[in-house]
Amino acid sequence: MSASAAPTAASTSVQTPVRTAVLPAFRGRIGPDARSGHYAVPRRYRLYLSTACPSGLRLAVAHSLLGLDEVCPATFLPAVPDGPDGGHSALRPLYEASAHRYTGPALAPVLGDDWLGRIVSTHAPDILRDLDRWFGPGRPALYPEDAQADIEAVERLCARGVDEAAQRAGTADADPAERAASLTELLDALGELERLLDTGGHVLGDRLTAADIAVWVSLVQLDTVHSHHLDAAAVQRIAAHPRLWAHARRLTAHPSFGGHLDLDGIARRHRARCRGLEAAGAAVRILDWAAYASHQVDDR
């Protein structure tokens, strides 16, 4: 059955009220047989996600790359949660069935068990790995065994060096020295990703992996969300990584990537959650994401 852990930070709304009790969440795993509690069988599980959320967007891309529409259907949720606590009302019954007297926000993404009517996991990294491992046979693995450590390193670099550093660099009330240090950390991370693309057509050589998904989602957020809180000079320095942004353009033209790019939804989610100040970087766009998404080519 489900195990507990804290919800991922990417899925937590700034509108969620502070609670004194630890809210239950779920870190169940899909396994090879019934002893796992959730064994791998087609059409038993369902994904609930919003592509305006970074975690949801990563899962949507992976879900499409693995061709799981029939094996594990996906239900797409609104860009902006409709619950007063920052959760999705459509997920409320599933949460209440999975945790006695659940009072917290019904957050996405969720992997649900349709047989039991309960939640398996709310932890996007575990969900992505389990879908790849148990429901992706016959397709190139997103987490090939010989590259797992490198993929995890890229995922950490994106989470800390890009996402978190960009967030800190754009915090208006932070100490200027701290903002400058965060911008340097961000630029260093982008430089490292730029160097990785020297080795082949993808982040880790000549094959598409989960590392490419992580990088692409981070770049989408960087250009469409975080840049709003940076100055124009900072955004221009961010744009000065030609191989990295060319890779983002190429991936956006892939239907499994660009087909899930909801720019309007990302903007509405940002407006609903953001309490920061807009800066001059809001006027600088690095990529015309919509244009590249409209020229889709299957370029795996």
Neighbours of 49 (CB within 10 A): 25
pTM for the predicted model, two decimal places: 0.88
Backbone φ, ψ for residue 135 (5° rounding): -125, 15
From CA 111, how far away is CA 79, in angstroms rounded? 18
**Residue 54 near residue 60 (C-beta atoms within 8 A):** no
Burial class (CB in 10 A: 0-12, 13-18, 19+), 230: buried
Residue 295 pLDDT: 62
Residue 6 pLDDT: 37
Which residues 6+ apart lie within 8 Å of 135 measured at CB?
A: 40, 42, 66, 68, 71, 72
List 45's β-bridge partners, or say none: 113
Residue 15 pLDDT: 37
Residue 2 pLDDT: 38
CA-to-CA separations, 243 to 81, 152, 239, in angstroms, rounded: 35, 21, 10
List 196's β-bridge partners, or say none: none
User: What 3-state DSSP class applies to 198?
Assistant: helix
Residue 152 pLDDT: 98
From CA 28, how far away is CA 194, in angstroms rounded? 36
**Residue 56 near residue 47 (C-beta atoms within 8 A):** no
The residue whose two tokens read 């000079």 is 233
Residue 139 pLDDT: 87
Per-residue pLDDT tens, the chain, 300 aa: give them.
Answer: 433 333 333 333 333 333 334 555 799 999 887 666 799 999 999 999 999 999 999 999 999 999 999 999 999 999 999 999 999 999 999 999 999 889 899 999 999 999 999 999 999 999 999 999 999 778 899 999 999 999 999 999 999 999 999 999 999 888 999 999 999 999 999 999 999 999 889 999 999 999 999 999 999 999 999 999 999 999 999 999 999 999 999 999 999 999 999 999 999 999 998 876 677 667 788 999 999 887 655 444
Residue 279 pLDDT: 73
**Residue 226 near residue 278 (C-beta atoms within 8 A):** no
CA-to-CA separations, 296 to 105, 189, 207, 257, 261, in angstroms, rounded: 36, 28, 19, 9, 12
Residue 229 pLDDT: 92
